[in-house]
Amino acid sequence: MIVLILSAIDLLSGSLLLLNLKFFLNYIAGIMLLKGAFSLLSSLGIGYWFDWMGFIDVISGVALLLFAFGIPAAIFSTLAWIVIFKGVYSLLRGLFKF
């Protein structure tokens, strides 16, 4: 259940970046930063050094904050697709348990 909620947050943040929407942008950016920081810290705590999902969360959180402050960048659309892919991947893993 929690994986589905986190996947929905990924899909929402990727959509906000892709469509250039500023709907609850600060809140979603904070959630992504917290989610990424928790993921990275917990994976580093167990000795796993390549947490690609946590890195994507932190980078997308920073990008959402930059976008909220009005800084446009061409990389945001590429990053949005990466975050959407991660959200779909997590959603499928959560639904089908593979």
C-alpha dihedral (69, 72, 77, 79), degrees to nearest 10: -60
- Check if the beta carbon of residue 56 is closer than 8 Å to that of residue 82: yes
Q: What is the pLDDT of residue 1?
A: 85
Q: What is the pLDDT of residue 24?
A: 86
- Which tokens belong to 79? 């990053």
- Check if the beta carbon of residue 8 is closer than 8 Å to that of residue 92: no
Dump pLDDT digits (tens) for 13-41: 999 999 988 888 889 999 999 999 999 99
User: What pTM does this model have?
Assistant: 0.91
DSSP structural state of residue 94 = H
